[in-house]
Copies of this chain bind each other. A is one copy, B any other.
Amino acid sequence: MAAMQDIEQGIEFAPKFDENGLITAVAQDAETGQVLMVGYMNRQALDSTIQSGYATYFSRSRQKLWKKGEQSGHLQKVQQILVDCDQDCLVLKVTVDAGQCHVGYQSCFYRALDKKTKGKLKFIAEKVYDPRKTYNSS
């Protein structure tokens, strides 16, 4: 109980990584409040983020550190790192340019469940850049 109280009410930063050594991190636009993406960090990615000031995640598909924007140029400059009550999740308040999602949208959350047609999605955003130009260097 004491330990949980410390975690929830204390000032020690004690991020809780899961069985895979990862913690969930929500990137939120510091100005608009828009949720841009959700990624995962291992200890090294978190340390790198804190030290560099730019969001670095751990890519689960590629199993390696991934500085957001290292290829696309769409970096996330970290203004503030929030942690939740049980310290198993982070919110990164970030400053970004136009186009955070590799599909071409500002946010990865560019579709919403359509209430009228059950099980279908509707697009709620317009693309802000052409990913073919960004990712095809040939």
Contact = CB atoms under 8 A, between A and B. Distances in A.
Q: How many copies does the complex hold?
A: 2
Nearest to A46: B113
B35 A83 contact: no
Contacts of A121: 10-13, 83
Contacts of A80: 112-113
A119 interface: yes
Contact of A112 (B28, B34, B82): B82
A13 B116 CA distance: 13
A114 to B, nearest CB: 8
Contacts of A133: none
Given A50-B113, A113-B50, A84 B13 contact: no
Contact of A120 (B12, B35, B85, B123): B12
A89 B13 CA distance: 25
A119 B38 contact: no
A28 B24 contact: no
A121 B7 CA distance: 11
9 contacts: A11-B111, A11-B123, A26-B26, A26-B35, A37-B84, A80-B113, A83-B113, A84-B108, A84-B109
